[in-house]
Each structure stands twice: as C-alpha cells, then as structure tokens.
Amino acid sequence: MRVIKIAAASALVGLVALVVAVYLQASTLPTYSELKSSPNGQMIRVHAADGTVLVSLGPSYGEWLTYDQIPQVMKDAMVSVEDKRYRMHLGVDPIGIARSTYVRVRRGYWAQGGSTITQQLARNVFLTNSRTFGRKAREWLLALAMERKFSKDQILELYLNKVYFGGGSYGIDAASRRFFGHSANNLSLAEAAVIAGLVKAPSRYSPTADAEAAIGRSGVVLNSMVENGVISQADAANAEQVKVKLNEDANENSVRYFTDWALPQLETLIDETVEPLDVWTTLDPEMQKAGQAAIRANAPGNAQGALVSLDRDGAVRAMIGGKDYVTSIYNRATQATRQPGSAFKLFVYLSALEAGYKPDDTVVDEPVTIGGWSPRNSNGRYTGAINLRTAFTYSVNTIAAKIGQDVGTTTIADMARRFGITTPINTQPSMVLGTSDVRLIDMTRAFASVGSKGIAISPYGITKVTSTNGRVLYKHETDTSRVLVAPWVAAEMTDLMQSAVSAGTGRAAQIGRPVAGKTGTTSSNKDGWFLGFSSGLTTGVWMGRDDARTVPGLQGGTAPARAFAAFMRVAVAKRPVEPFETQVKLPEWQLEPDAEAYYGNADQAQAPPPVLDEQGNPVAPTARPYDEQGGNPDQGGQEQLDDAFIDRAIGRDRPPPAEPRDRRAPPPDYRDRPREPQPQPDQGRPY
C-alpha cells in the first residue's frame, strides 16, 4: 500500500512538474504572427548564363492561406494520413506512441512514427531531425506548449503553410503551384491526396523526383480518408481514376540534372549556410532545350540518352542526364560508367602521335594476335597497307591493337588519365578498343582538351555566388596553364577526327561547318557514343539501356551522331565558322633528313589529302564507311570498310570480279589473295 502511495505521489509531482514546464515553455513561444513570418532554411536562386532564374531552391513559399481559405479536402487529407486523432489529443498522442513502440518491438526497427501534426510542426519550426531521446522529449514539451497557446485550427493552418512538401516548396500553395501550376485555393481531391502524401518523404515522393511514386502514395492517403470517414469509397475510387496533370515545368525540368550536379559544389566553394544566395551558372537555356529535344528525338524508344556540352573554357552549356528527370533523376552524364568502344581510340592515337607517328604514316591492316587476343574487323577482311588517317577514319581495330602493342597499353592508360578519365583503366591488350568503363562528362572533357590545342579543360558550372545584396562570395577563374600534349599533337589529332566526320564513321554528325569527332559502339550494340567539337563547343552524346542490354541498331554513327548534329546546329548557329588549324610545323626531332624516308617509296602511292570545300570542311568521298558493330567485349566496336574506297585511297588495282562460285564449295581464304608488298623499314613506320 505504501508503495502505491509513493508511486501516486511521484506521479502527481511529475504531473505538476510537467504542467509547470508546459506553461513556462508556452510563455517563451513566439506569437502566432511571428510564427507565420519566420523563414525556414536557406534560399538559393540559380541563374542561367543569361541571368534568368532557372530554379529556386530552399524555402519557396506561395501565398499564405488562412484556415478558412484552405480547401476542406486538403485539411481532411492531411489529418487522415498524418494524425487521425488530431482533434482528440493534447499535442502528444499516447495511443499513437504505444502503437509505434509495439511495432518497433515486433519488427526490430522503427517502422511507424508516433508524431502528431503538432509535434511535426514543433520539429520543423524549432528543432532538427536528429533521432535522439533528448530531442524527442523537447518535441513533446513544445507540442504540449503549442496546444496550450494556440487553437487546433491555428496549428493546422501553420502546419499546412510551413511544412516542406518537396521540390523546394514550403506550404501547400507553393507545392500546388510547383506541381500543378495553380493556387491551392481550388485543389481537387486527387491533388490534395498527392500533396498530403508528400510529407512522409518529400525527396522520395516529390513529383519532380518520381511522379509514379507520388501518384502511388496518393492512393494510401485516399484509403486513410475512407477509414477516417471523410470521404466514401466511391469518392476514393473516382479520385484514383482521375489523371493528375502535373505542371509542365515539373514534368520537363531537365535543368535539374545540371543543378543536382553543380549545387553540391557550393560546400567546397563557400562557407555561407544561412544567408540567401544567388548562384550564377554557365547553363545556356536555349542549348539546354536543344539538348533535351535532340536526346528525346533520337534516342531509341527502349533506351536512355545523355548529353554534355562544354564551351572552350570548360563552361557547361548543356547537360542532359536522361530522357525525363521526373521519371528518373539518375544523371547518366555524370554518374553512369559505361564502355566507350572505339571512342577510346582518341587516347590510342594521341599516344601514337606523341610517340612519333604521323597521320600519313603507312600501317598494315592484317591479322594480329597479342597475348592470345586476336582483334578482328567485322567483315573478316584486312585491307593491307593504308595510312594512319585512313585507319582512324574507319576505326580499323587491328591498327589500334598494333599501336597499343607498340607504344604500350600502360602509356595509353596514362594518356587517358592525363586527359581527365577518373575511372579505373585496365591495361589488357583489348583496352585499345574501349573495354574500360568511363563517364560521359570525362570523355567530353578529354575531347574538349584536344579542341583547345592540348590545354587541359576542366568542366565547371558555377561562375559566381553572391549574397542578396550583391556581395561576391565566390568567382570562378579559369586555369589555362596545364598543357597535356604539344599543340602539334592536338592539331594532328584534330586532323584525324575531322576526317572521321567528313568521310568515315561519323558522317551523320556533319552540320555544314568543320566538325572533328569520333564514334564509339560497344559489344552487341549495348552503348553508342559520339563526341566531337566545332566552333569552340565540344559535345558528347551517349545512348544505351540502364540494364546494359542490347539495343538493336544502336551504333555510334547512327542515333548518337544524329543527336549531336541536331543539337550542334542550334548550339553553334550564332557562332562564327572556325576552320581547324591542322597545318602545323613539326618539331625538328621529328623531321627526317631524307624526304623519301619520311614519305616512303615514291612508287608506293599514299592516300591523297582530303578535298576541302569553301568553308574548310573536307568533302566526303562516295564510300561506305565502317559501321560499328558489336563483337565480344574484347573486340569492342567494329566498323565495316569499303574495299573500293580503300583501294582508290592507296592506289591499288584489284583484279576483275571472279566468276560466281559454287555455293556448296568452301569459300576461298580472303587472306590468300595477291596483295602489294608490305612496307619495308625505310618506307614509313614498320610493324
């Protein structure tokens, strides 16, 4: 009996202490007017290169709606899904806490929250989201104090106008305008259910992040409203059948791929975390629209696509991470790592040129085996003696393999790292055909560095950061001091890439002005690439499936090259035509005293230089280029060479066609046919 009396006395003392604490806490709370005007979080306005506002992040507020102005369906939806006993408790719901604790004991983790609407408001306004018992105790005390100081209607009004709903929106009016394009004054039942469903996990269920998840979550809200007796089952069924029309900006806001990449960099650029900021970026709105349109129009229906475009100083002018940001926030331009196929030959040929090869050096396309690996050309044929320019133009795999054997795959890997490839690179012989995973932004950076005459280019998206009163907190400075390769190496590489676009595998990327670039296709057509530059702008395009499955017909010279051309025609339209400076003087150590040793035997015809039009753009001969095919991962991208064109290029006569053979007879060995004598050591670079 004594124990019971002591327990009762202790409980009474505790209750009195709690009441006193609640009254004291209530006396320190801000007034209702002060709570209405208090801000939440840091406001960040992101500007495009032309100064227009791309997006406002952080606390974006709409109009403040009084309790009477808030649609009843919105109030019913929020109470039903977040706090069914809202009108019955004093700020803390013991039944809800008991239910949450019971589930915790059964499952071993917290699966249900016991927080009331009042607790959530207290946490959002006064506390953090840290999961500690101390914070929870303060939350209970504040909730009880708020219920003492404010009415239920006032608390619900504060809650619906201040809670975060995702997409940078605080309050139901900001959320309604953000997601549906209109004020919250006239929300439908279906729209109210979507908004009410966001509170549980704004980043997960936000329509700007995952539209399907947001709609699916609204079904849970409607069922809760039925259970709470505020709508009928028929009302819920009708609402579920209504197709909620999302705001067009929310559904097509591809700039979020760019802002998701650029804004996290603020943590390393500035220390300001409270004051509102204006972030000025490099993004060009017109180029961004053109990039989005090019990817959507050209990417195969069952595939994704990505695009990055860099200006001559590394400024990111456009960034497309996928077909639709709403359905997938995964940024394939900066996060995905995929095999580049023949696009990796950029580093193979850079290494060759730096080692002393020249575009007109004679090389031999023939069977080769390196460490048990035998690269093949897709048509099973070998052309014999050709020059380096022809080998690159049509992406001949055997030549790339020979170069790798000669200069060393470690040298090629070092060249790739030098040019900004940050992913691991294998040094197996097959690496020359692009079997190491890379990122699109890194590959685009590498091509841009070639276009800048060998000067290192570093992509950047933020030009400056200012406070709202104009105080400059950060300003970007471009570093042009790091030289990756000599200017003549970059010029010769540009010469090779220009030939690939004018006459080779990248002909679909032509835009009526000089373009230098390279295609890439991986095994079984899983990835298609095109990267190139023109008029100071470098653009990389990737297409493929996220699950790395085959995409029939996808080759670097098809959809990716067409997307590149569609984008670049718009992107460079207002820029002057810039012929490439490919005529450079070689350093003395590369010049041979004997002209015949440099050019080869006078009787051994060399490939003629490309014919240029009036704009300096090589005119493509009538020839069928290598079409990049699949092959196994060790083969990389394969491309088909037109024998007649190569014969004309190297001045070789071919015997007249043979009589049709008996199809039942075994096919002749193509390698047994007569061919020109192979070059000797004094006839160009031998193998």
DSSP per position, 366-399: ----BTTB----TTS---EEEEHHHHHHTT-HHH
Whole-model pTM: value is: 0.63
Inter-residue long-range contacts of 483-486, CB under 8 Å, 24+ positions, other chains counted: 483/454, 483/455, 483/456, 484/418, 484/419, 484/449, 484/454, 484/455, 484/456, 485/350, 485/353, 485/354, 485/454, 486/354, 486/454, 486/587
Residue 478: closest CA among 264, 282, 286, 279: 282
Q: How far apart are the C-alpha atoms of 205 and 58, rounded to whole Å?
A: 17
Q: Which amino acid is it at 607?
A: A
Residue 191: closest CA among 167, 210, 173: 173
The residue whose two tokens read 């791309």 is 54
Q: Report yes or no: 56 and 168 within 8 Å, Cβ to Cβ.
A: yes
Q: How far apart are the C-alpha atoms of 451 and 457, rounded to whole Å?
A: 9
- Cα–Cα distances (Å) from 375 to 175, 321, 342, 383, 387, in that order, read 57, 33, 13, 14, 19
- Cα–Cα distances (Å) from 643 to 398, 578, 647, 671, in that order, read 16, 33, 6, 14
Q: How far apart are the C-alpha atoms of 204 and 221, rounded to whole Å?
A: 16
| Ramachandran assignment for 660, one of left (phi > 0), alpha (psi -120 to 50 degrees), beta (any other) | beta
**Ranges of the chain whose pLDDT falls below 70:** 1-3, 5-27, 37-42, 58-61, 96, 100-114, 127-136, 167-168, 203-204, 206, 208-210, 247-252, 274, 378-379, 583-687
- Cα–Cα distances (Å) from 342 to 25, 131, 339, 686, 687, in that order, read 69, 51, 9, 23, 22
From the CB of residue 575, how many other CB atoms can be counted at a distance below 10 Å? 12
Tens digits of residue pLDDT in 311-326: 999 999 999 999 988 7
CA-based end-to-end distance of the chain: 104
Q: Which amino acid is it at 206?
A: S
**Helical residues (DSSP H) of 394-486, grouped into ranges:** 397-407, 409-418, 440-451
- Here the tokens at position 623 are 């020839």
CA 199 to chain centre: 28
The residue whose two tokens read 């048509």 is 379
- Here the tokens at position 509 are 């990327």
Q: How far apart are the C-alpha atoms of 191 and 245, rounded to whole Å?
A: 9
Query: Angle at Cα 514 formed by Cα 512 and Cα 518, nearest 5°?
Result: 105
Q: How far apart are the C-alpha atoms of 529 and 521, rounded to whole Å?
A: 6
Q: How far apart are the C-alpha atoms of 199 and 185, rounded to whole Å?
A: 19
What is the H or E stretch that residue 189 is in? helix 189-196
Query: Angle at Cα 390 formed by Cα 386 and Cα 394, nearest 5°?
Result: 120
Residue 600 CB partners (closer than 8 Å, separation 6+): 362, 606, 679, 683, 684
Tens digits of residue pLDDT in 219-270: 899 999 999 999 999 998 888 777 777 765 544 478 989 999 999 899 889 8
Q: How far apart are the C-alpha atoms of 334 and 439, rounded to whole Å?
A: 6
Q: Which amino acid is it at 634?
A: D
Residue 642: closest CA among 503, 530, 434: 503
Q: How far apart are the C-alpha atoms of 102 and 110, rounded to whole Å?
A: 10
Residue 227: closest CA among 94, 96, 84: 84
What is the H or E stretch that residue 162 is in? helix 152-162
- Here the tokens at position 669 are 């060995």
Strand partners, 462: 281
- Here the tokens at position 609 are 């230089």
